[in-house]
Amino acid sequence: MSGWIGLVTLAALLFYFWTGLNVARMRGKHQVRAPAMSGHPDVERALRVQGNTLEWLPLFLVTLWMFGAAWPQWSWIGALIGLGWIVGRFMYMQGYMADPSKRSQGFLVQAIAVGLLFLGSLAGVIANLINGV
């Protein structure tokens, strides 16, 4: 296991946990009691940020680890791209919480990061198949 990939994985999970804390904070601030999923726009935006982050986590984590496994000597590159994903998710959260129309830039950054990890993983799998690994 690459230590860098492991650290980025833990950082991504910590970020996801943070989105959950943000939902709890918004619920408390606006007195929206569970199990309600609506009631104040800040709560709804926080829930959507958390949900969208959860939707992207499998794509991100699987491609991050596949990249690291396919290119162990270059796993630090996968980790850097993974940090880009976390930065993109943070940008997405900041934009969405301010105004949902401002989420696009962060979404694009994190989507590009996943795309790069996917393409790198695919190239590594193909290279390993060709080399009989």
Segment 48-68, tens digit of pLDDT: 999 999 999 999 999 999 999
- Tokens standing for residue 49: 């940020």
Q: Is the pLDDT of residue 90 over 90?
A: yes
Helices (H), 1-131: 3-30, 41-70, 75-98, 104-130
Q: Is residue 41 part of a domain?
A: yes
Question: Per residue in 27-50, pLDDT tens?
Answer: 999 999 989 999 999 999 999 999
Q: Is residue 133 part of a domain?
A: no
Predicted local distance difference test score (pLDDT) of residue 2: 82
Q: Is residue 71 part of a domain?
A: yes
Q: Return mean pLDDT, the chain.
A: 96
Q: Is the pLDDT of residue 1 over 70?
A: no
CATH at residue 18: 1.20.120.550
| DSSP structure class, residue 38 | -
Domain residues for the domain of 47 are: 3-128
Mean per-residue pLDDT for 81-86? 98
Q: How many domains does the chain have?
A: 1
Separation between Cα atoms, residue 28 and residue 115, nearest integer Å: 37
Q: 122: Cβ–Cβ under 8 A, 6 or more apart, which residues? A: none
